[in-house]
Chains A and B, each alone.
Chain A
């Protein structure tokens, strides 16, 4: 899919761009309001990632513009300001999601994927990774066409892994994805382990392969590469 990233911090902009490109997306960047506004007027994008604090304007105005011009695109706000007002305003204007900095790139990626599936396929798309098939609209998982029963969290973790396949996903990122960021989740690393163990067991018990590889004990990578 084609993504425009609007963010004034060059480093963060490049990090996001690189991460999303590695996941097979085409990314364009804009580091100020003017460039973003111009690009939106000319090219169609599937997803816009918009930082609210731009040196020459407010990201909310980009959303207003998009809605005024009736451009069909998914919008994710990324903001350092964790103010409810901004969040509500952004979502009211028609943004699809709101993320507070700092966020984990796998989290952004999985939200982009979820948003894209919702917008482009109405959620009715199968996500396939080798013998694993996810049916997001039914929250169902099949291994070699055989359904397995996963808990909500196991399903969420699997989907998260597949969205970020071949990439390192740290325990912190998984914890935040599952438990959100309202609570202190640092001690929740222990909480992740039983979910992963169960997930592995359920997949392998019906003949699936164990794709979850532990990386340096900092996190995991969902991969079929050796």
Chain B
């Protein structure tokens, strides 16, 4: 729910509750005023009648008088206000009236008790009237608020939405500091400051971590080179025993594996650092054909039957090194995990590249296949970085790389 709708929702509930309270308050205050008004009117009338009686000893005509009854002069002096309900045929309901009973001064040895009557406001009508009035005010207020809020929010929240859009576009790998403009609103300025500080810190940490990783990779290369060279020298010495040569061989192999791994990882970080930006128009079909050529002999050696279906010839703007690595790794994967006398099928058209190979059932989770250091075969000398690199390159170019297994066929496909 939008903040604005939410605000209006709460305002609506508040105004609804408020309206009832307002109706109650208004009801009582209007009633009080009406009583006050009617009482005053009746009191003035009684004064006028008394005054008239004192001067003329006659009861004056009055619209308010409803009853005049003579009383004895011992009758106590009265001035009583009472409410009374009278049934009105015309309206078919009970109508409230205000009565004033009072006694007149003695005139011609007579004293009268006079009852004056005036109509009061019908409370039902009052409530209904008030309800309608308040409702109209209420609706107008809500409509007004809605429009005002809309206008305000468009203006006030402009800075906020600007910030939001910038955060959304923000990518750590771009290494571009987030540039948030100051607005006239303190809260948003604070938000921007916090976001800026936050992303700045993340960027710093990210760069440090990256540099650390890269430095470790670099610094390890020279010692690795030395170790590898020493092993080679050792292996050149004659008269090594079987045991000795096996030890050296294993150490040499692991040392080279480590350096390969370092190179593969630093290659991956170079992809991440977007160091491959030599965009060239490359002919995908040519690239794949060249790669297959280089695998020709090993395919023969493993007696793998290769079937290729190239539907079209097309060009893409890509970095030639990365494209080569991408397809080489996929072809290599299909060769490596193939069996003697197996097959590889390759299909290429403008939408997709598919490579299918025979091979044993995968024992790892297919979803983890593209993770670093995932090996289908634990005994394998492979480091499990080839597919991770292929995945990284695919992501860089927005290709979708996926894996499927179906009836003894492993299929990798790239959707361009």
Contacts and interface: CB of A to CB of B under 8 A. Distances in A.
A215 B235 contact: yes
Interface stretch (A61-69, A125-133, A166-174, A200-208): A166-174
Contacts of A83: 270, 275
Interface in B75-123: none
Contacts, number: 118
Interface in B290-317: 294, 297-298, 300-301
A170 B252 contact: yes
B276 interface: yes
Contact of B332 (A9, A183, A193, A215): A183
Given A12-B229, A216-B240, A194 B297 contact: yes
B52 to A, nearest CB: 116
B381 interface: yes
B273 to A, nearest CB: 9
Interface string B219-255: 1011011101110110110001000010011001100
Contacts of A18: 233
B345 interface: no
Given A183-B329, A218-B249, A170 B232 contact: yes
B257 to A, nearest CB: 6
A81 interface: yes
B222 A191 contact: no
A193 B302 CA distance: 12
B135 interface: no
Contacts of A111: none
Contacts of A102: 221-222, 224-225, 228, 259
Using C-beta atoms within 8 Å of the partner chain, give the interface range for chain B: 35 or more
Contacts of A179: 294
A81, A103, A105, A216 — most chain B CB neighbours (10 Å): A216
A172 B235 CA distance: 13
A35 to B, nearest CB: 19
Contacts of B252: 170, 172, 218
A193 B298 CA distance: 9
A190 interface: yes
Interface in B168-225: 217-219, 221-222, 224-225
A140 interface: no
B219 A80 contact: yes
Contact of A9 (B226, B235, B266, B275): B226
B386 A184 contact: yes
Nearest to A78: B225
A183 B380 contact: no
Interface string B375-408: 0000011110110000000000000000000000
B30 interface: no
Contacts of A226: none
A195 interface: yes
Interface in A170-190: 170, 172, 179, 181-187, 190
Nearest to A185: B260
A153, A167, A182 — most chain B CB neighbours (10 Å): A182
Contact of B297 (A105, A151, A185): A151
A181 B328 CA distance: 12
Contacts of A172: 252-253, 256
B276 A186 contact: no
A172 B232 CA distance: 11
B263 A187 contact: no
Contacts of B217: 82
A82 B263 contact: yes
Nearest to B328: A183
A218 B247 CA distance: 11
Nearest to B267: A182
Interface of A: 9, 11-12, 15, 18-19, 80-85, 100-105, 151, 153, 167-168, 170, 172, 179, 181-187, 190-191, 193-195, 198, 215-219
30 contacts: A9-B226, A12-B225, A15-B230, A18-B233, A80-B219, A81-B218, A82-B263, A82-B266, A83-B270, A84-B275, A101-B225, A102-B221, A103-B225, A104-B228, A105-B232, A167-B236, A168-B232, A170-B235, A179-B294, A182-B267, A183-B325, A184-B386, A186-B256, A186-B382, A187-B336, A191-B301, A194-B297, A216-B235, A216-B249, A218-B235
A-B CB proximity, top 7 nearest: A102-B225, A101-B221, A80-B221, A15-B229, A194-B301, A80-B218, A11-B226
Interface of B: 217-219, 221-222, 224-226, 228-230, 232-233, 235-236, 240, 245, 248-249, 252-253, 256-257, 259-260, 263-264, 266-267, 270, 275-276, 294, 297-298, 300-301, 321, 324-325, 328-329, 332, 336, 380-383, 385-386
Given A170-B235, A218-B249, 10 more contacts: A11-B226, A12-B226, A100-B221, A103-B225, A151-B297, A168-B235, A172-B253, A184-B260, A186-B256, A218-B248
